[in-house]
Amino acid sequence: MSQLKDDWPGYSLDLFTYPEHYHEDIESVYIPHGIIMNRVERLAHYIMDDFADNNNIMVLCVLKGGYKFCADLVEFIKVLGRNSNKYLETRVEFIRLKSYLNDQSTEQLQIIGSGDLSFLRGKAIVDTGKTMKALLKHVETFEPKMVKVAGLLVKRVPNMAESLTDYVGFEIPNHFVVGYALDYNEYFRDL
């Protein structure tokens, strides 16, 4: 896992291009896209190694914030499989969780969409969401064979969710971040 130090200021905005209408709203680029992609590829290697004895997995993608990470992770798994003798058939299902209001996490987790997750029964699952405890409790009621959690970002906070996350891209300070499909009230997903 890659750790960003608490005092990491990010990269200067002068090094990047981004939409002009966001110029007043963004302080720095915390993790450049190329570094994210390289790290996601590394996570795909770990998943391929861990699931070597399986021939398929079900990826439960948590929308909306997880869609870019999920899509890139699944693509790397497919590419790695095509270039080796251990192809892992990957099915993707989508679920939407709502747990944020503005930049504050709320206590209530609302599952939108696939309330019935009976398609998980007996499957191996890799999950790419951020609000894990409640979701994992819900997922376990459908008796999957195995559950692994992948998260691009894990914030360094008290009672950190790292213990819930099997594949971590980056451990970061407790800052509110946007981009790569993460939003603030639906803004900034396109960064």
Please tell me the distance from the alpha carbon of residue 88 to that of residue 101, in angstroms, as a whole number.
37
Nearest to 153 by CA among 83, 92, 69, 71: 69
H or E element that contains 47: helix 33-50
Number of other residues whose CB lies within 10 A of the CB of residue 134: 15
Residue 111: strand pairing partners: 97
Which value, in Å, is the radius of gyration of the alpha carbons in the chain?
17
- Please list the active-site residues: 127
Please tell me the distance from the alpha carbon of residue 144 to that of residue 159, in angstroms, as a whole number.
26
Residue 51: strand pairing partners: none
